[in-house]
């Protein structure tokens, strides 16, 4: 497709389970960003990649969160041993360039941990 | 400390009014983005600025680098403009975006 695609759109899981969220950026976009947005709050930075290299993971809350982009295209955000506080909308965005370039956001993956 | 502040937090106006939303930041930036998020919806990029002014339809975005301030204006506001408007900046030397808290705009018919 022409836009940023995220899957699944909705994920309900039980506490303690692992989840994997996928982001398929616009073809050719160098930079890929992961954000998290709690209900009624603004987006919160998690991590980002330029090509396949993870440039900054300072926003990942703890070591249960990890992300990869092995071939510089599709990225996966993995949350291990999920907790209720992990419930949020997880958003991915991509941009053509590194320091500049318009951001294109996916529709997000809403995670609910019971 | 790299900070972004938006004002007002909430804004209600009558249809047709001229709207201004403000964004201030603490240190030098390489780019500033204005984003729009409708209730329950996705995030759409409206503008990316590094200097000057941009216009798209009824939307105008300006930035004053010296004053570290940007404004988003909406002319002839319409109920469909009701959304949360978010300012996000890339601070120099840091590629990640830092987001403002957003401005919730409601336009009453």
* Residue whose token pair is 């930036």: B29
Q: Which helix (H) or strand (E) holds B54?
A: strand B52-56
For residue A17, give how far its alpha carbon lies from the nearest alpha carbon of chain B (Å): 26
Which of A5, A99, A104, A109 has the most B C-beta neighbours within 10 Å, making it the best mutation to test the interface with B?
A99
Instruction: Tell me what pLDDT residue B42 has.
Output: 86
Phi, psi of A85 (to 5 degrees): -70, -10
More confident of the two residues A99 and B54: B54
Q: Report how far residue B26's alpha carbon sits from residue B48's, in angstroms, rounded to the nearest whole number.
A: 18
Share of chain A above pLDDT 70, in %: 97
Instruction: Provide the pLDDT confidence category of residue B58 given band limits of 50, 70 and 90.
Output: very high
* Residue whose token pair is 């990316």: B48
Residue B4 contacts by C-beta under 8 Å, 6 or more apart in sequence?
A: B23, B24, B25, B26, B87, B88, B89, B98, B99, B100
For residues B23 and B102, the answer to whether their CB atoms sit within 8 Å is: no
State the average pLDDT over residues B21-28.
Answer: 94
- Left, alpha or beta for B50 (phi > 0: left; psi -120 to 50: alpha)? alpha
Share of chain B above pLDDT 90, in %: 77
Instruction: Provide the pLDDT confidence category of residue B77 given band limits of 50, 70 and 90.
Output: very high
Judged by CB atoms closer than 8 Å, whether chains meet at B42 and A31 is answered as no
Q: Does A23 score more than 90 pLDDT?
A: yes
B9-38 residues touching A, CB cutoff 8 A: 30-31, 33, 35
Instruction: Tell me what pLDDT residue A24 has.
Output: 97
- Contacts with B43 from chain A: Cβ below 8 Å: 43, 91, 93, 105
For residues A32 and A49, the answer to whether their CB atoms sit within 8 Å is: yes
Structure letter (DSSP) for residue B81: G
More confident of the two residues A35 and A42: A35
Choose among A42, A48, A105: nearest Cβ to B99.
A42
For residue A56, give how far its alpha carbon lies from the nearest alpha carbon of chain B (Å): 8
State the average pLDDT over residues B7-14.
Answer: 96
Instruction: Tell me what pLDDT residue A25 has.
Output: 96
Phi, psi of A2 (to 5 degrees): -85, -20
Instruction: Provide the pLDDT confidence category of residue B108 given band limits of 50, 70 and 90.
Output: very high
Instruction: Provide the pLDDT confidence category of residue A1 given band limits of 50, 70 and 90.
Output: low
State the average pLDDT over residues A34-57.
Answer: 91
Instruction: Provide the pLDDT confidence category of residue B62 given band limits of 50, 70 and 90.
Output: very high
Convert chain A into a string of H (helix), E (strand) and C (coil).
CCCCEEECCEEEECCCCCEEEEEECCCCCCEEEEEEECCCCCCEEEEEEECCEEEECCCCCCCCEEEECCCCCCEEEEECCCCHHHCEEEEEEEECCCCCCCCEECCCEEEEEC
């Amino acid at each position: 497709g022409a836009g940023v695609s995220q899957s699944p759109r909705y994920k309900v899981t039980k506490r303690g389970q692992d989840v994997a969220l996928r982001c398929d950026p616009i073809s050719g976009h160098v930079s890929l960003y992961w954000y998290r947005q709690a209900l009624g709050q603004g987006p919160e930075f998690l991590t980002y990649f330029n090509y396949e290299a993870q440039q900054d993971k300072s926003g990942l809350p703890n070591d249960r969160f990890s992300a990869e982009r092995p071939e510089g295209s599709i990225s996966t955000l993995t949350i291990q041993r999920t907790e209720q506080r992990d419930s949020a909308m997880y958003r991915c965005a991509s941009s053509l360039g590194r320091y500049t370039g318009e951001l294109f956001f996916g529709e997000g993956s809403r995670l609910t941990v019971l | 400390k790299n900070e972004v502040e938006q004002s007002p937090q909430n804004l209600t106006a009558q249809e047709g009014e001229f709207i201004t939303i403000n964004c201030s930041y603490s240190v030098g930036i390489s780019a500033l983005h204005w984003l729009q998020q409708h209730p329950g919806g996705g995030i759409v990029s409206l503008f990316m600025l590094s200097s000057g002014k941009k216009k798209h339809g009824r939307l105008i975005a300006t930035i004053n680098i010296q004053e570290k301030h940007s404004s988003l204006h909406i002319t002839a506001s319409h109920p469909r403009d009701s959304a949360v408007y978010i300012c996000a900046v890339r601070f120099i030397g840091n590629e990640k975006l830092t987001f403002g808290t957003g401005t919730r705009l409601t336009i009453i018919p």
